[in-house]
Chains A and B, each alone.
Chain A
Amino acid sequence: KNEVEQSPQNLTAQEGEFITINCSYSVGISALHWLQQHPGGGIVSLFMLSSGKKKHGRLIATINIQEKHSSLHITASHPRDSAVYICAVRTGNQFYFGTGTSLTVIP
């Protein structure tokens, strides 16, 4: 069993739709990260959070420590949001990664 589970695995949305990607984890963590990977392969960090909620532009990330669950929301989705979104958790010096959610936003 993976330490980090993401859903859905694949997601197709129409431009403008509200999108939610979910992440559940089974280990104790010090922080949870949401990452974005574009087709070229590079990975950028979107959020790092250990409690509550963070917002950056059209992206919102929430975490519920008690339920060991996090969500990434994208409001007013745009084709440029098409990418793989990866959830990762930190335990000490180690990071555990979900397998990613492949998002395609259609114009």
Chain B
Amino acid sequence: SQTIHQWPATLVQPVGSPLSLECTVEGTSNPNLYWYRQAAGRGLQLLFYSVGIGQISSEVPQNLSASRPQDRQFILSSKKLLLSDSGFYLCAWSLNLNTGELFFGEGSRLTVL
């Protein structure tokens, strides 16, 4: 069966420090992968999505970046965190089908101090 894992679950980082959130998917091949951020009282905001290795689409200009070094691995990074980067980050995957279901990781809560 398919599973998705992301880590770390909780992270407290100082302003200006780097960030790396990792997400891996098991049990499927060539998934579409997504990074979302969820702010309180707002819907999920798409940050990046990827339809294949090395293919990254960015939806929101910011100091975050994403990489997909392997088919089932998706990494969210920052070289220097800002206070505004605090939030709840979710990785998700779906098959490249119009009716593919959407599966989420457990989420990573980032607090930037």
Q: Is residue B113 within 8 Å, beta carbon to beta carbon, of the partner chain?
A: no
A30-B99, A95-B34 given; A43·B46 CB < 8 A? no
Task: Give the number of residues in B that approach A within 8 Å (Cβ atoms).
Answer: 23
Q: A44 CA to B44 CA in the complex, in Å?
A: 14
Q: B43 contacts which chain A residues (CB < 8 A)? A: 2, 4, 86, 96-100
Question: Are the CB atoms of A42 and B104 closer together than 8 Å?
Answer: yes
A97-B43, A98-B43 given; A31·B99 CB < 8 A? yes
Smallest CB–CB gap between B52 and chain A, Å?
A: 11
Question: Are the CB atoms of B104 and A43 closer together than 8 Å?
Answer: yes
Q: A99 CA to B109 CA in the complex, in Å?
A: 18
Q: Is residue A22 within 8 Å, beta carbon to beta carbon, of the partner chain?
A: no
Q: A31 CA to B99 CA in the complex, in Å?
A: 6
Q: B85 contacts which chain A residues (CB < 8 A)? A: none
Question: Are the CB atoms of B90 and A43 closer together than 8 Å?
Answer: yes
Question: Are the CB atoms of A45 and B101 closer together than 8 Å?
Answer: yes
Question: Are the CB atoms of A93 and B104 closer together than 8 Å?
Answer: no
Q: Which of A30, A33, A98, A100 makes the CB contact (< 8 A) with B102?
A: A33
Smallest CB–CB gap between A37 and chain B, Å?
A: 9
Q: A44 CA to B32 CA in the complex, in Å?
A: 17
In addition to A45-B103, A86-B43, A88-B102, 5 A-B residue pairs with Cβ atoms within 8 Å of each other are A33-B102, A43-B90, A43-B107, A88-B44, A97-B43
Which residues of B come within 8 Å of A, CB atoms? 32, 34, 41-44, 46, 49, 51, 88, 90, 94, 96, 98-104, 106-107, 109
